[in-house]
């Protein structure tokens, strides 16, 4: 089984970071480029903090669902 299939069983948060930079890959490009179709990918900018809370909020909800 491919690793990517195994990962579907766990909560995986992927940040598409550095969205403030013009050359940053979009969420769609990260998804296509890393073959992550169906995974949650959060656009973010660690410098301003945008998207960080949203990503961690999503992750905490996924973890709580497992209990």
Tell me which DSSP letter residue 50 carries. B
Residue 20 as a binder of ligand GTP (CB under 6 A): the answer is: yes
**Rounded to the nearest whole angstrom, what is the least distance from the CB of residue 1 to ligand GTP in the complex?**
28
Residue 21 as a binder of ligand GTP (CB under 6 A): the answer is: yes
> Which residues are paired to 42 by β-bridges?
15
Q: Is 17 annotated as a binding residue?
A: yes
Residue 42 as a binder of ligand GTP (CB under 6 A): the answer is: no
Contacts of 14 (CB under 8 A, 6+ apart): 30, 34, 36, 39, 40, 41, 42
Residue 18 as a binder of ligand GTP (CB under 6 A): the answer is: yes
């Amino acid at each position: 089984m491919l690793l990517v299939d195994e990962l579907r069983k766990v909560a995986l948060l992927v940040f598409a970071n550095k969205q403030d930079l013009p050359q940053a890959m979009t969420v769609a490009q990260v998804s296509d480029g890393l073959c992550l179709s169906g995974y949650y990918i959060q656009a973010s900018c660690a410098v301003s903090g945008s998207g960080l809370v949203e990503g961690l909020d999503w992750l905490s909800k996924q973890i709580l669902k497992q209990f």
